[in-house]
Amino acid sequence: MTRVLGIETSCDETAAAVVARNADGSPHILANIVLSQIEEHAAFGGVVPEIAARAHVEALDGVIEAALQEAGLTLKDVDAIAATAGPGLIGGLIVGLTTARAMAAATGKPLIPVNHLEGHALTARLTDGLPFPYLLLLVSGGHTQIVHVAGIGDYQRWASTIDDALGEAFDKTAKLLGLPYPGGPNVEKAAEGGDPRRFAFPRPLKGEARPDFSFSGLKTAVRRAATERAPLSPKDVSDICASFQKAVTETLADRVARSLERFRTLHPSDSEPALVVAGGVAANAAIRAALEELCTDKGFRLVAAPLDLCGDNAAMIAWAGLERLEAGIVEDAASFAPRPRWPLDETTNPLFGGGKRGAKA
Ligand code: KG4
Ligand code: ZN
């Protein structure tokens, strides 16, 4: 049995978790504690890096202790300590990595720096034991990418956003409409019962051969609709959200279809090809439903992260650390410095933008 303690502090969640691979090979989450800082940032309408870093300093020790306690373990019982080392806000990354480094030094356990995006990418192996290769749609506050996942550390980006990340589009739409932070879940809630046909918002890049995404035009169209009709009634807000979400799901299905076709061509003998959707936006029910429909249509199996593992958490970091430990593919922790920008695939040139907020993942 291998057990790894994971630490996640790259944005506005302070999180610690313990995961294990049982002797029979099955994965197991022993503890998964996530302390959200939403209340600290809500008044500012978004994450304030300095407040986030300070909150991580204050909360992290207690969160780690709570995770070990829930797992019924002490630090001596784990085989390694994994911590998010990027991408993310530098203050939080320093807090998490330094804490992990100190704990590793005090116990003699290995320290494993983990790429936060790899955490999202490998979650489907923790929850569903999914074998390689598979296709990953990563949709979060800072990233919108399609990645071909062939193995641990073997990632090829096939598509990205050329401007805003999808979560960013949700968050900006919420702000324009006066909905509270965080935007995504509030836009989803407001869309319930709204008329998705009332506003003809654009479907950016729909029908184009390139596999990429674009969301800034959609946001501009939402702004225009909102300013033209101000002051907005609750019905207006609801209809705008429903129409926005409809445009998002249609666009996503069209864009993702390109990469499903490419995957099929590359792996013709894969009898059950899988699409994984992960990241905060993967919690959206309309998006999950649209992807389910697309996958059924294309003969793919959709593996969507369970809701509590869509957003940022440390179970995914601990798991990525465990997979790296087992495979013997571990970064040189002694000299590893946190990386605010750290693409999963360092060989494919980034598109312009790639999510302006960038640091978040
Ligand atoms: O992965 P995540 O927790 O943090 C990083 O960006 O790393 O993703 C957060 C993003 C935010 O933009 C948030 O608005 C969005 O995920 N989000 C949602 C939903 N829940 C969270 N977007 C749409 N619908 C949701 N239900
Ligand atoms: Zn994330």
Pocket test for ligand 1, best of 175, 245, 281 (most atoms within 8 A of CB): 281
Strand partners, 301: 274
* pLDDT tens by residue, 102-113: 999 999 999 999
Within 13 Å, how many C-alpha atoms sit on residue 42's CB side?
A: 9
Q: Whose CA is nearest to atom 16 of ligand 1?
A: 280
Cβ-based neighbour number of residue 76 at 10 Å = 8
pLDDT, position 352: 54
Helices 285-298 and 183-191: crossing angle, nearest 10°?
Answer: 80
Q: How confident is the model at residue 46 (pLDDT cuts 50, 70, 90)?
A: confident
**Surface-to-core class of residue 187, CB atoms within 10 Å of its CB (0-12 exposed, 13-18 middle, 19+ buried):** buried
- Spacing, Cα 280 to ligand 2 middle (Å): 6
CB 311 within 8 A of CB 122: no
In the chain, DSSP assigns E strands to: 2-8, 13-21, 27-36, 80-86, 111-115, 134-139, 144-151, 154-160, 274-278, 301-304
Beta carbons of 292 and 138 less than 8 angstroms apart: no
Residue nearest (by alpha carbon) to ligand 1 atom 2: 280
- Mean pLDDT value across residues 227-236: 97
Q: Which ligand is located closest to the Cα atom of residue 179?
A: 1
Q: How confident is the model at residue 140 (pLDDT cuts 50, 70, 90)?
A: very high
Whether 139 and 204 have beta carbons less than 8 Å apart is answered as: no
Q: How far apart are alpha carbons 240 and 223 in whole angstroms?
A: 10
What separation in Å is there between the alpha carbon of 294 and the centre of ligand 2?
24
Cβ of 87 below 6 Å from ligand 1: no
Are β-strands 301-304 and 111-115 bridged in parallel, bridged antiparallel, or unpaired?
unpaired
Ligand 1 pocket: which of 9, 13, 140 to mutate (most atoms within 8 A of CB): 140
For residues 45-49, give the mean pLDDT: 87
How many residues are listed for the chain in this entry?
Answer: 361
Angle at 294 (CA atoms; ends 293, 297), nearest 5 degrees: 85
The pTM (predicted TM-score) of the whole model is 0.94
Residue 125: closest CA among 305, 282, 301: 305
Percent of the chain with pLDDT over 90: 89
Average pLDDT over residues 139-165: 96
